[in-house]
């Protein structure tokens, strides 16, 4: 299943006197309003307060299934058990396209909010390595696929400024992020199928 970042819908620009909401990631609603990225760069870097409010429970799902390691071709007349060694890294994505591994103020605020709200840390990337045995019958090819467990979090940054920033003391910026679930097992699956004529020619001579 392909993970998709949910982009927020357009919200009202003016909430109350001195406060405003941005909603289109990375774009300004008007020339006199900042982009969401510009706002987030001000988080704890010119604000009196910057807090991330998650919308609710994190959405947990399995990431896209993909092959890891090399394929195993059995050109012998007997069934073979082949050990496939692999290492696979799962990364993150978010609605502003900036890695949360960087020491931006908003990334630190986001990570602290995840820990406080859900009781676990945010991982920007996770690498798993393993040796997986695949039983391959004569004339077949075998391979391994992996699906990582992912968490998707959406919410809103609330920023308070000591002076008016683009005409407002308070700004609210939506934010989405998807990353690997920490300390969660992934799903590994062994597959086999008959080799094509081209594969037989390339791998079996």
**pLDDT tens, residue order, the chain (205 aa):** 333 333 333 333 334 446 666 644 444 445 588 999 999 999 999 999 999 999 999 999 999 999 999 999 999 999 999 999 999 999 999 999 988 987 789 999 999 999 999 999 999 999 999 999 999 999 999 999 999 999 999 999 999 999 999 999 999 999 999 999 988 889 999 999 999 999 999 999 8
Per-residue model confidence (pLDDT) at position 5: 33
Which residue, 140, 145, 131, is CA-closest to 203?
Answer: 140
User: Which pTM value belongs to this model?
Assistant: 0.79
Alpha-carbon distance 99 to 166, whole Å?
26
Q: Is residue 8 within 8 Å of residue 21, measured between CB atoms?
A: no
- HSE of 89, CA atoms in CB hemisphere, 13 A: 5
Per-residue model confidence (pLDDT) at position 98: 87
The overall longest dimension of the chain from CA atoms, in Å, is: 79
- Residue 17 burial by Cβ neighbours in a 10 Å radius (0-12, 13-18, 19+): exposed
Which residue, 25, 21, 20, is CA-closest to 8?
Answer: 25
Per-residue model confidence (pLDDT) at position 78: 97
3-state SS string for the chain = CCCCCCCCCCCCCECCCCEEECCCCCCCCCCCCCCHHHHHHCCCCCCCEEEEEECCCCEEEECCCEEEEEEEECCCCCCEEEEEEEEEEECCEECCCCCCCCCCHHHHHHHHHHHHHHCCCCCCCEEEEEEEEEEECCCEEEEEEEECEEEEEEEEEEEEEEEEECCEEEEEEEEEEEEECCCCCCEEEEEEEECCHHHHHHHHC
Per-residue model confidence (pLDDT) at position 24: 42
């Amino acid at each position: 299943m392909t993970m998709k970042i949910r982009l927020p819908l357009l919200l009202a620009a003016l909430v109350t006197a001195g406060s405003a909401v941005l909603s289109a990631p990375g774009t300004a609603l008007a020339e006199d309003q900042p982009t969401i990225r510009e706002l987030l760069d001000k988080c704890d870097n010119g604000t009196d307060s910057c807090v991330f409010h998650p919308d609710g429970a994190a959405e947990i799902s399995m990431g896209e299934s993909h092959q890891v390691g090399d394929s195993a071709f059995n050109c012998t007349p007997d069934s073979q058990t082949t050990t496939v060694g692999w290492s696979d890294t799962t990364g993150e994505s978010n609605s502003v396209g900036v890695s949360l591994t960087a020491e931006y103020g908003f990334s630190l605020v986001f990570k602290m909010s995840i820990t406080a709200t859900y009781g676990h840390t945010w991982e920007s990337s996770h690498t798993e390595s393993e040796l997986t045995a695949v039983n391959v019958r004569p004339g077949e090819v075998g391979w391994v696929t992996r699906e990582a467990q992912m968490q998707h979090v959406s919410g809103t940054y609330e920023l308070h400024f000591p002076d008016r920033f683009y005409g407002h003391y308070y700004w609210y910026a939506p934010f989405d992020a998807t990353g690997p679930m920490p300390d969660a097992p992934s799903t590994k699956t062994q597959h086999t199928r008959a080799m094509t004529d081209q594969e037989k020619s390339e791998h079996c001579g």
